[in-house]
Each structure stands twice: as C-alpha cells, then as structure tokens.
Chains A and B, each alone.
Chain A
Amino acid sequence: MTDTQAPAVRTDNTERATPKRETHIKMAARDVNVFYGTSHAIRDVSIDVDMENVTAFIGPSGCGKSTFLRTLNRMNDTIPIARVTGDITLDGEDIYSPDMDVVQLRARVGMVFQKPNPFPKSIYENVAYGPRIHGLAPAKRDLDGIVESALKRAGLWEEVKDRLDDSGTALSGGQQQRLCIARAIAVDPEVILMDEPCSALDPIATAKIEELIHALRGKYAIVIVTHNMQQAARVSQKTAFFHLGHLVEYGETSEIFTNPREERTKDYITGRYG
C-alpha cells in the first residue's frame, strides 16, 4: 500500500467535483490488518469515516468488507481466531486500547446485520432491550418515549404502533430490518454500521431502507456495506472499494462511479468481476 490510498490525499481530487464541506471525522482507521488464523483478510487499510456523509463499502464477495466493518465495533472479538492490528479510533479514542469498554463501544457503534435478526420477543421488547441494559431509561414512561422515537426514526411507528406486543419475528422481512435499525437507534449510537442490510429484501422494502438511510444521514455516522453498486450510488456520498483485503480506492461516490482512478475499480464498476 502506498500513501496515495490514504484518504487525506484524495481531498484535492474531490474538490473538483463537489464544493468542499466542513466534515468532522468520527472514526479513523490506520494500517489495519486482520488475520483469521494465518489467513490475511485485511491488509493495511486506512480510512476515515465522517459524521456528515454516508460511507459505502463495495467490492467483490470475500474481499473483506464485512471483516473490516466488524473491526469498527469489535464484533471480531467474538471470533476466537481473528486478530486485529493497527489503530482504530472513535473520536480520537483508541477502541482497541485496554481502557475501552467493549460493551459501551458497541452501544456507541451500533450494527445492523445482513439477515434481519429481531429477538423472538415483542416489538416493544426488541427496541427496549438496549436502553434497558444500558440503564438509559429510569422509568417506564422514559422507556416508552425512547421506543416510540426510535420506531419513528426507523419509519416503522405508523405500521406497528397498534401492535407493539406482537412478536418481532412476525413482521415482514423489510419491517424486521427496520425494527433492527430501530433497535440500534434506541441506544442512541454515534455510528451505525450496516452489513448488506438489503440483501435479503425485496425491491420495495429495499427502497424504504434506502429512504431511511437518507433520513438518518447527518444524525449518525453511517457505514453501509453493499454489493449492489446502484445502491451505493443512491445512498452514499463516499465510497470505498475493497479488493482482496486491500482498500483500493476511497473518495466521493460521484467521483468513484464516474471517474475512478484505479483500473481495478473501473473493472469492478463496469461489471468485469463481482
């Protein structure tokens, strides 16, 4: 990896396409490597995720998008053979330092998974679980308020307000995924990571999630993994292209899709592999 891939260097390039906006960096990764046993899944990745933009990770299947995403909230800790080196910071704090409480970190950096995975409990309990274990709602009234506002932000309130006691697993796939987003929002995270949140959904449900991502932009730093390039183009303002564990290119989405600098990026975007 040469320095040209470091995100800071891209800024002069992107200035051409979009007027420079004031962004503040939420999470920063420097020279991150991830190993599964001896297999080297992520190689020297450095990237900044900011508060104002939605960042999309694209790349062929198996290139390490999920692996890298999971380093950002230390979900890789649950895989015994996974090992992470390099620095990742959240607001300048090293998230892999011994002082960082991983439970609190995961509350601050929420996650939405590929397959909707609501708890087999009521809709209310699904959303209330996070605030409850973190003690965010001292009284039942506060909890009700948190649940309502989280469901509203996730665009699900109107559909479920009359049946909060129904099982979360009885909802349709798209509703389940929005419930999972509401569950993540309910603990008031700063960053939301989404790993192919629409890959199990039909086009209409997908459109709803994309709308939702638009609405949430700016309130949370959002990172979304997708293998669907149209989706990346629709929802993100910044795109990172991964290939074989490398971060090949990172920049403004419009730039990447219209004028990629790297041959590999161009090949991928034009459908040569994927």
Chain B
Amino acid sequence: MNNPPAPDAGAPRRPTDWRGTAMQRRIRRRYAAERRFRLIGLGAVVLSAGFLAFLLITMLSNGIAGFTRTEVTLPIDFRAAQLDVTPQQLESRGADLALAGAGLEELVERSATAAFGAHGPDVISPHAWTGVRDALKDDPSLLNRKAAISVPVSQDLKSALDGAGKPEMQAIAAKLKQHDMIGSSFDFGFLMSADSTDPTDVGIWGAVKGSLFTMLVTLAIAFPIGVLSAVYLEEYARKNRWTDLIEVSINNLAAVPSIIFGLLGLAVFLSFMNLPRSASLVGGLTLALMIMPVIVIASRNAIKAVPPSIRDAALGVGASKVQVIFHHVLPLALPGILTGTIIGMARALGETAPLLMIGMRAFIAQPPEGLTDPATVLPVQIFLWSDQISRGFVERTSAAIIVLLLFLLAMNALAIYLRNRFETRW
C-alpha cells in the first residue's frame, strides 16, 4: 500500500574480504586483548585472595594460643592444711566467702612455694586460687586428701616457657617441662569473663555482650526508622526540590566519616540528653544514626525495583495504598532491605571510632547487665588490648579478632541466607 520508496539497490557492492591479512590481524589483536583482560582480572583476584589468606593465617596462628591457657600441676595437701571449712559449707551458697575467709589463697601460695621453690607464687597466676576454689566446690572430699590440681600459670612463666623473660623463671620453666608438669587446655574463662589487667585472666564475654546490646539498640532504632523513611520517600513524598534536597543529604550522610557521628552522639546523647556515658544504649543510638542512611538507600532501591505491574495488579483489585505497600511492595523488597540492613549492621559491628568518642573505651571488668551499664564492644576491646605492652595481650588480641571475624562471617551468611530465602522468581 502506502509503502515508503524502496532503497536504491542499484549501487555496485564490493564484497568484504573476511580472509585478508588485515582481517586476520584484527582477529589476533582481539584475541590478545581478551587474554590480557582475563589475566589482569585473574591477577587481581589472586592478589586479594592472597591478602585475605595472609590475614587469616596470621590471625589464626596467633589467635589459637589466645583461646588456650597454660596450666601447671600444683600439689596441695588439704589435710595437712586443716582449712576451717566444713563439707556442708562447701555445698552452700556462702562457699566462696568461707574459703576466702579460711585462707585458701595463702594455702595455694604456700603450696606453690613448697612445690616450685622461693619463686613459687610467681609461677602461678595471681588468681590460680579461684581455680582451686572451684575444684573444691566440685569435689568437697578433696578437703581431707592430698591432691594435684591444674592451675593457670602466670604471665611471667608463660613468657619463660616461650624462651623469654627473667632467667630464674626460665630455669623453673625448664625444670617443669622436664617433669612434664605443664599442660594446656581450652580457656573457657576467655569466653565467659570480661576485661582484666592480667592477660591470663581476661575474657571476651564482656565485649561480646556489649556488642550484642549495642547491635540490638542499633537494629531496633535504625531498621524501622530507615525502612519507614524509605517507604515515605518512595511512595508518598512528592517529587520536588525538598525531596531532592533530602535525597542528596541522605546520600552524603552515608559517606560521612564515622568519627563525625561519634561527635554528634557525644553532643546530642551525652551533653544534651544526659544519657549515661559508656553505655551500649548510647553506642547503639550513635551507630543507628550512622547506618540509617545506608538502610534508607538500600530500602529505596529495593522498593524501586518492585515492578510497577505488581502495584497495578493490587490497585486494580481495589487495594488501598497502604495495602499495596504492606502486602506487596515491602514483601518483594524485603530481600534487598534485609541485605542492606545486614551490611549496615556489619559495618556498625566493626566500628570503633564513634564509640571511642562517647566513652566506650573505659576499662570495664564486669559484663554489662543492661543497656545503660558501662560496656565496651569487640572492636574497641581489640583496640584497647592491642595497645597493651604485656606480651600475653598479643595472643588475646588475635583471639578477639577471630571472635569478631566469626561474628561478621555469621552476619554475612545470614544476609545470603535471607536473600535466597525470600527471593521471588518472576
């Protein structure tokens, strides 16, 4: 019918020479370019894998020792000592007090002197007697016996065992090794107690608990506010200069260095609102401010990615706007929202600087009991230990890093699991 005029087919046509040398050269160059690009990519992957492997190997080789404690077998003659406690007292609640009052600590020191010579009390850890106390509580029949009990060694002896430290200690260490009286076991104390000045007695539990409380506050504040902001901005806000401004601000906030958020938290939560210093509540609020922009951005992108056809479908059967959002948009955006949230939470978990600003760097020997108790968190604890001179803290630092990395790994695994679990196929 009304077709446009046919193109002029009359012009002569020279066939392309697909086999000529110029063509061959072009093909070779193309292959070479592809090979080069593949090699560069492979090199980058190998390099980063190498760095990762180096980090993991050093951490593991240092850190494994941090999870164990070195013990020495200490013979104690309880019968001869005649401690002023009854087996009934040992079963009761006041056992700790009774044993301390009966001079158990002195008994342990005396036994150490008897066993290891004049430097005996320096061989065992200053709180070796608490281990003996627990052994007595477990088995009151020890009271009228002679017994050999494994107690933690002091930091001095530990250094001596590694071939460092004072000569008299090295002599004792050599002798103990010869008599096979040195052993090591998994240090449950490390997982169950809090910070201490003595590296043989420190634990990570205080910091873990502080991190958990802090993350809890961060999640409880940042997730709902972040997601609701994203919903409002995407679904309700009119597109005008104000929303553009808000959008730019949020994007910029996500890039603000974290220490600035620490200053903000200091000014707002401590100086203005007078919340307690060093508390996980304040730490959590500060980190919530920090990761909120990340959650808002991730959630907005996830909401944007929900196909408009689904909104149309829901509106078409008479769903209200809120029903469309809560029945369709949010469930479909959930994998993206959760992934963004967990990435934000992982960042918060590893954050040190803003928490230093609000005073979470204090020495805290008791695990926090509540959100307002003074607390510290894993990365800050690592930072504090890495600052210590004593050699024993090096292993503990590496061990704490392993714990932190395990947490991060678990969170990332959770992110991947959630994404796969809630992902919908179209």
Q: Do A and B come from one complex?
A: yes
Cα of A80 to Cα of B309 in the assembled complex, Å: 17
A167 within 8 A of B: yes
How distant is the Cα of A106 from the Cα of B2 in the complex, in angstroms? 43
Min distance, Cβ A117 to any Cβ of chain B, angstroms: 4
Specify which of A106, A120, A169 is in contact with B315 (CB 8 Å cutoff).
A106
Contacts of B425 in A (CB 8 A): 120, 167, 169
B239 and chain A: residue at smallest CB distance: A80
Q: Mark B299-323, 1 if CB is under 8 A from A, else 0.
A: 0000000010111111111111001
The 7 nearest A-B residue pairs measured at CB: A107-B318, A130-B317, A117-B309, A111-B316, A120-B424, A106-B318, A117-B313
Bin the interface of chain A by size: 20 to 34
* Residue among A111, A119, A184 facing the most chain B CB atoms (10 A cut-off): A119
A274 to B13, CA, bound (A): 35
Which residues of B from 41 to 91 have beta carbons under 8 Å from A?
none
Q: Which of A103, A112, A169 contacts B318 (CB 8 A)?
A: A103
Given known A120-B332, A133-B323, contact A73–B316 (CB-CB < 8 A) = yes
Residue on A nearest B313 in the bound complex, by CB: A117
Contact B317 A106 (CB under 8 A): yes
Q: Verify B320–A103 contact, CB threshold 8 A.
A: yes
The interface residues of chain A lying within 8 Å CB-to-CB of B307 are: 117
Give residues in A with beta carbon < 8 Å to B: 73, 75, 78, 80, 103-107, 110-113, 115, 117-120, 129-130, 133-134, 167, 169, 180, 183-184, 186-187, 271-272
Whether A113 pairs with B310 at a CB distance below 8 angstroms is no
Q: B residues within 8 A CB of A118? A: 313
Q: Distance in Å from the Cβ of A77 to the closest Cβ of chain B?
A: 9
| A187: B residues at CB distance < 8 A | 317-318
A80 touches B317 (CB 8 A): no
Chain B residue nearest to A273 in the complex (CB): B2
CA of A111 to CA of B316 in the docked complex: distance in angstroms? 6
Q: B146 interface residue, CB < 8 Å from A?
A: no
Which of A105, A112, A118, A129: most chain B Cβ within 10 A? A129
In whole angstroms, how far apart are the Cα atoms of A169 and B318 in the complex? 21
Q: Are A113 and B424 in contact (CB under 8 A)?
A: no
> Besides A110-B316, A183-B313, 18 other CB < 8 A contacts?
A105-B318, A106-B318, A107-B318, A111-B312, A112-B316, A113-B316, A118-B313, A119-B313, A120-B310, A120-B332, A120-B424, A120-B425, A129-B314, A129-B317, A130-B317, A133-B318, A187-B317, A271-B1
Which residues of chain A are within 8 angstroms of B313 by Cβ–Cβ distance?
113, 117-119, 180, 183
Binary interface profile of B, 224-242, with partner A (CB < 8 Å = 1, else 0)? 0000000000000011000
The residues of A that contact B239 with a CB separation of less than 8 Å are 80
Q: Is the CB of A120 within 8 A of B426?
A: yes
Residue of A nearest to B423 (CB): A120
Contact pick for A129, options B238, B327, B426, CB 8 Å: B327
B residues engaging A (CB < 8 A)? 1-2, 238-239, 307, 309-320, 323, 327-328, 332, 424-426
What's the least CB distance linking B305 to chain A, in Å?
Answer: 13
Report how far A154 CA is from B102 CA in the complex, Å.
Answer: 88
Contact present for B323 and A113 (CB under 8 Å)? no
* Set of chain A residues within 8 Å of B327, measured between Cβ atoms: 129, 133
Taking a contact as CB atoms under 8 Å apart, the answer to whether A75 and B314 are in contact is no
The answer to whether A113 touches B317, judged by C-beta atoms less than 8 angstroms apart, is no
B323 and A272 contact, CB distance less than 8 A = no
Are B309 and A184 touching (Cβ within 8 A)?
no
A173 vs chain B, min Cβ distance (A): 12
A-B contact pairs, 29 of them (CB 8 A): A75-B312, A75-B315, A75-B316, A78-B311, A80-B238, A80-B239, A103-B319, A106-B316, A107-B317, A107-B318, A110-B316, A111-B316, A112-B316, A113-B309, A113-B313, A115-B309, A117-B313, A119-B310, A120-B310, A129-B314, A133-B318, A133-B327, A169-B424, A184-B317, A186-B317, A187-B317, A271-B1, A272-B1, A272-B2
Say whether A119 contacts B314, CB under 8 Å: yes
Bound CA span A111–B318, Å: 10
Q: How far is the CB of B207 from chain A (nearest CB, A)?
A: 43
Closest-by-CB residue of B relative to A170 is B425
**Whole-angstrom distance between the alpha carbons of A78 and B317 in the complex?**
14
Residues of the B chain whose Cβ atoms lie less than 8 Å from the Cβ of A75: 312, 315-316
Chain B residues, CB < 8 A from A111: 312, 316
By the criterion CB–CB under 8 Å, are B426 and A130 in contact?
no
Whether A134 contacts B314 by the Cβ 8 Å rule is no
Q: Which residue of A lies closest to B317 (CB)?
A: A130
- Nearest-CB distance from A110 to chain B (Å)? 7
In the complex, what distance in Å separates the CA atom of A105 from the CA atom of B316?
A: 10
Give the distance to chain B from A127, nearest Cβ to Cβ, in Å: 10
- Chain A residues with CB under 8 A of B426: 120, 169
* Residues of chain A with a CB closer than 8 A to B1's CB: 271-272
Q: B residues within 8 A CB of A133? A: 317-319, 323, 327
Given the complex, which residues of B lie within 8 Å of A106, measured CB to CB?
315-318
Q: From residue A139, how far is it (CB to closest CB) to chain B in Å?
A: 20
Contact B310 A184 (CB under 8 A): no
B309 contacts A78, CB within 8 Å? no
A110, A167, A271, A272: the one contacting B317 at CB < 8 Å is A110
Q: Quick one: closest A residue to B2, CB to CB?
A: A272
Interchain nearest-CB distance for B4 vs A (Å): 13
- Whether the Cβ atoms of A113 and B320 lie closer than 8 Å is no
| Residues on B with beta carbons closer than 8 Å to the beta carbon of A272 | 1-2
Residues of A within 8 A of B309 (CB): 113, 115, 117
Q: How many Å lie between the Cα of A76 and that of B202 in the bound state?
A: 66
List residues of chain B with CB within 8 A of the CB of A180.
313
Nearest A-chain residue to B424, judged by Cβ: A120
B318 touching A104, Cβ below 8 Å: yes
Closest Cβ of chain A to B325, distance in Å, is 13
In the bound complex, how far is the Cα of B426 from the Cα of A110, in angstroms?
A: 23
Q: In the complex, what residues of B have CB within 8 A of residue A186's CB?
A: 317
- Smallest CB separation, B212 vs chain A (Å): 35
Q: How far is the CA of A133 from the CA of B314 in the complex (A)?
A: 10
Given the complex of chains A and B, what is the CA–CA distance between A223 and B202 in angstroms? 77
Chain B residue nearest to A169 (CB atoms) is B426
State in angstroms the CA–CA spacing of A113 and B317 once bound together. Answer: 12
Contact A183 B317 (CB under 8 A): yes
Q: What is the distance, in angstroms, from A27's C-beta to the closest C-beta of chain B? A: 16
